Chains A and B, each alone.
Chain A
Amino acid sequence: MKKIGLKFLLAFSTIVVGVFALMPVANAHVLKSDGEVGAVLHIDPDDDPIANEPAAFYFAIKDTSGKFDPSKCDCHFIVTKDQQTVFDKPISIIKQSGEWDGIIGYTFTDRAIYSVLLKGTPKTTNAFQPFNLDYDIRVSRTANATAPGTSNSSSTQIHLVHFVLFGIAFIAIFYIIWDEKRKGRKTSKRPDQIIKSLIIVLALSSFVFHSSGLHCSASQNSSQLPCCAVAPTGIIVKSVTVEPVEIVWRSELVQSNFESIQVDNKVSNKSPPLQTQVF
């Protein structure tokens, strides 16, 4: 009993921990605060930036005193690696749904641990409390070195999920029928109902996942895979133009080369910047 228990513990621990160890590192939505100001950071793609691919940083900024005003802020986005500054640029901050959102793009050059700092210094004294929000970012992925115009995935890989889903359904059906016959009973009503339900549900689910672009990854050019009408990886911002009158925002991801991002959610710009900011 003790030997079996120990072996079971060791084997199961190894398998479970091994599975988790293989999972990619992710940075998650991280909140940092400095006095009255805090910001939740989210990074595209998947909170797990890829070296040599553009990453978008979104800061949901909140000032509990209500004083924060981007027009009065010398707000900078600073990236450091091994305590050396590798990037330092002003960050665009807009008001969306009543909250301040800071957005900027940056491409990490290699796999390493970086420090990302959102620094806010008021241009006028006592405009708001200055803040420094520091986030540690681990870049563990690199872009696939794929020749342009080629796809990494074969048809089998792309439709793997469908094969798996229907494979599970067929195995379940055959096992149940075989088990019932082995025990010399007629196939009872309930397993028959369950089999039909599972087939319907798995087929519907397969359709849902297919239409949602389950197998379309960011690295695949949408023109090469007709069923990948959209490459759903989130928003990568290459340029934002803030006009004095309004800001127009489009929240759709269209191309893997990210040549242009257009915006179509119109927001009136109540705090027009002193100059048009393009980055």
Chain B
Amino acid sequence: MNIMNKLLKYIRYIIIIFSVVLAIVIKILVQRSLPLESLSDIRLGEIYALVTLIYLYLTLLVSPLYFNFPQTPFRALYVKARRSLGVSVFLFAALHSYYEFFKLLGGLSGLQFLSGKYLFATILGIIDITVLALLASTSFNYAVKKLGKKWKMLHRMVYLAGIFIIIHALILGTHFINLSNAIPTIFFIALIVLMVLEAFRFGKYISGHFPKLSEQTASYLTATIFLAAIIYLYLYVGSGIAGHHIH
């Protein structure tokens, strides 16, 4: 069995094991650099959130990437890895939720002290983790067989979770307070690339349902809507926080 075939066989296990190891390594390193528990909890919550975003991006990139560039190498490997990437999204999201919600916020009792955008963003986060838990728990072959066609429909909820996660990050994310910094810049560039690729997928889907609309027109229309949404997020949701931090 050559290397690629072996990798293909074990890629899901490799990714899950890697993610678990990564989570442990991050915890050890942060706690060594910040012995004070209150500070290390904050830092861990932030780092796990960023890793969640990275994994989510890699999970969402698979379909639009190979739809638009079918000749991109490692297709079988990447497609097979997607399920474990998704489970890793849940892993890091759960860790982030543990530190942010239970340790820093103090759990449900802390919600009573939040108001306005903080409360809204926290509720979005609760919805996100619930959706991700549902998707992770149905990521196994048994669930795929049992749910049949409904499995694909259920897992399309990842797009909804993705939108909520973006809004949650823009409102609450410490690294998104100043959108001029490196992390938000990279985030928005990556988001734009993903949205352009998705626009062509959506364009084909839309033109299939509306035959009068050509695939090209539908794609450009979709890309324009996506871009408008990103600009709105950047200017009003993200930057809106920079001036008024509290409400």
Contacts and interface: CB of A to CB of B under 8 A. Distances in A.
B104 interface: yes
Interface stretch (A73-81, A121-129, A206-214, A270-278): A206-214
Interface in A29-59: 29-31, 33, 38-40, 42, 44-48, 58
Interface residues of A, number: 73
A108 B46 CA distance: 24
B43 A39 contact: no
Contacts of A40: 113-114, 118, 246
B127 interface: no
Interface stretch (A148-156, A229-237, A239-247): A229-237
A145 interface: no
A78 to B, nearest CB: 17
B123 interface: no
A215 B180 contact: yes
A138 interface: yes
A26 B40 CA distance: 10
A100 B106 CA distance: 21
B220 A38 contact: no
Contacts of B193: 198
A20 B113 contact: no
A16 B22 contact: yes
- Which residue, of B7, B36, B180, B181, has the highest number of chain A Cβ atoms within 10 A? B180
A26 B46 contact: yes
Contact of A212 (B17, B42, B118, B239): B239
B26 A113 contact: no
Contact of A193 (B7, B25, B219): B219
Interface string A151-168: 000000000010001001
Nearest to B178: A46
Contacts, number: 181
A1 interface: yes
A13 B22 contact: yes
B174 A46 contact: yes
A21 B29 contact: yes
B25 A13 contact: yes
A86 interface: no
Contact of B246 (A48, A58, A113): A58
B86 interface: no
A234 B245 contact: yes
B153 interface: no
Contact of A96 (B6, B34, B247): B247
Contacts of B174: 26-29, 46-48
A4 B6 CA distance: 11
Contacts of A9: 14, 17-18, 21
Interface string B205-247: 0000000000010011001000100010011000100111111
Contact of B227 (A98, A201, A217, A232): A201
B141 interface: no
A168 B185 CA distance: 14
Contacts of A267: none
Contacts of A101: 246
Given A9-B18, A205-B188, A28 B42 contact: yes
Contacts of A27: 39, 42, 174
B189 interface: yes
Contact of A31 (B33, B71, B114, B181): B114
13 contacts: A1-B6, A28-B104, A31-B104, A31-B113, A45-B178, A96-B247, A194-B68, A201-B192, A202-B192, A212-B179, A213-B180, A234-B242, A251-B244
Given A138-B39, A201-B196, A208-B231, 13 more contacts: A1-B6, A31-B106, A42-B246, A62-B112, A62-B113, A96-B246, A197-B219, A197-B223, A198-B196, A212-B235, A234-B178, A234-B242, A234-B245
Interface of A: 1, 4-5, 8-9, 12-13, 16-17, 20-21, 23, 25-31, 33, 38-40, 42, 44-48, 58, 60, 62, 64, 96-99, 101, 113, 135-136, 138, 161, 165, 168, 176, 179, 183, 190-191, 193-194, 197-198, 201-202, 204-205, 208-209, 212-217, 232-235, 251-253
